[in-house]
Amino acid sequence: MKTIDDLLSDGVAGKRVFVRADLNVPLDGDTITDDGRARAVTPTISKLAEAGARVIVASHLGRPKGAPDPQFSLAPVAKRLGELLGRPVAFATDTVGESARATVAGLGDGEVTLLENLRFNPGETSKDDAERGAFADQLAELADVYVGDGFGAVHRKHASVYDLPARLPHAVGYLIETEVTVLKKLTEDVKRPYAVVLGGAKVSDKLGVIDHLLEKADRILIGGGMAYTFLKAQGHEVGKSLLQEDQVPAVQDYLERAKARGVEFVLPTDVVAAPDFPDLKAQAPTNPVTVGADAIPADLEGLDIGPESRKLFASKITDAATVFWNGPMGVFEHPDYAEGTRAVAQALTTASTSGDAFTVVGGGDSAAAVRILGFDESKFGHISTGGGASLEYLEGKTLPGLAALED
């Protein structure tokens, strides 16, 4: 892959450089609640602008249905991006229409613009090659060079990610370059012991990565809502807890394969439970109780790993040489159920700073939890910007957006 430094050495002054970023930040109205993805792409944009490029930034936000939708506008992001860059960011109110063309035409050397949400155009996500290609043709008319730096979208075969690089000279930005380097450390010549911590709601979302990592990991720790399907597979009752009954046979197979290969599966020994799922907006106390993971009452729902599980998980993390974590241990958005996720995050920082382990937070809710719970991001080896992309890479899949950037 050609890198952004290769591009810069060739000279970009006066050139229109299209940067496909991932600015899919969480919004509460017009307020960005976590600007991590915006911060992650600023080194690439800044370097290009400083070199005199006319920078055209584009991204998706949320899942609009191929038409403009005010709740998914990138306008608030343009303002925040300008603050992070320390320079004005012009905002085009469409993707390839009159506003986009006029805004790009008005750019001077070293200036930056952000296009409106790419998914406001149905061609961006179309499964029809011709429709997607037609939109990519329109985007290509705006630029001279393409830089891919939206790692969180490289697992999507979308126009701006997959089709556009074929139409322009292209290179990878600093973010994607870093993400790929990190993921290679998790799949090639891994320092051992190698611990993988998986959480989140659905075990079905992680089956592919579990299958692939059974060949690579030394131990796999399972928390979050997906843990209850594992507990059920071991013959335990899980009460009202989240359960994917149809996945139990697959989970039983993984447990048997892990045992045969000497891979240690670590499951919760106790859980924090309550009769009902908490109201996350009200944040009212819920009077949770701690129960054994093998004795969850029929009228309770497991919502976090318990104190003994936290100690167990921490011990399996802190003596590892490589740790990959994707998915919270519970409903971390509520203070009554945040301690399991906090314990895992703390263990990763301990492993990184005290044990010199290489620790990776695999994007998505895990990255959000790190910030919400107030952890110093510098204490982790790497915090990914792309949960789904990271998982698919670890599954061994070919990511369309990366394949498109290869020379």
Given this structure, which CATH class describes domain 4-175? alpha beta
Q: What is the separation, in whole angstroms, between the first and last Cα of the chain?
A: 6
Annotated binding residues for (2R)-3-phosphoglycerate, as ranges? 37, 119, 156
Residue 89 contacts residue 112 (beta carbons within 8 Å)? yes
**Tokens at 14, concatenated:** 């006066």
pLDDT at 386: 85
pLDDT at 62: 95
- As a whole number of angstroms, the distance between CA 48 and CA 147 comes to 10
Task: Match 């599954």 to its residue by tokens.
Answer: 395
pLDDT at 57: 98
Q: Which H or E run contains 58?
A: strand 54-58
* CA angle in degrees (0–180, nearest 5) for 132-161-153: 120
One-character DSSP codes across 268-317: -SEEEEESS---TTT------EEEETT---TT-EEEEE-HHHHHHHHHHH
pTM: 0.90
pLDDT at 354: 86
pLDDT at 95: 97
Closest CA to 303 of 280, 281, 325: 280
Residue limits of CATH 3.40.50.1260 in the chain: 4-175, 182-395
Residue 313 contacts residue 341 (beta carbons within 8 Å)? no
Low-confidence ranges of the chain (pLDDT < 50): none
Annotated binding residues, as ranges? 22-24, 37, 60-63, 119, 156, 206, 302, 333, 363-366
One-character DSSP codes across 89-143: EEE-SSSSSHHHHHHHHTPPTT-EEE-S-GGGSTTTT-S-HHHHHHHHHHHHTT-
> What is the fold of 182-395?
Rossmann fold (3.40.50)
Strand partners, 274: 301
pLDDT at 364: 80
Residue 41 contacts residue 34 (beta carbons within 8 Å)? no
- As a whole number of angstroms, the distance between CA 350 and CA 363 comes to 19
pLDDT at 309: 98
Annotated binding residues for substrate, as ranges? 22-24, 37, 60-63, 119, 156
State the catalytic residues: 37, 202, 364, 388
- What are the pLDDT digits (tens) for 166-194? 999 999 999 999 999 999 999 988 999 99
pLDDT at 385: 86
pLDDT at 202: 87
Annotated binding residues for ATP, as ranges? 206, 302, 333, 363-366
Strands (E), 128-208: 145-148, 170-172, 194-198
The three-state secondary structure class of 183 is helix
**Tokens at 402, concatenated:** 């990366």
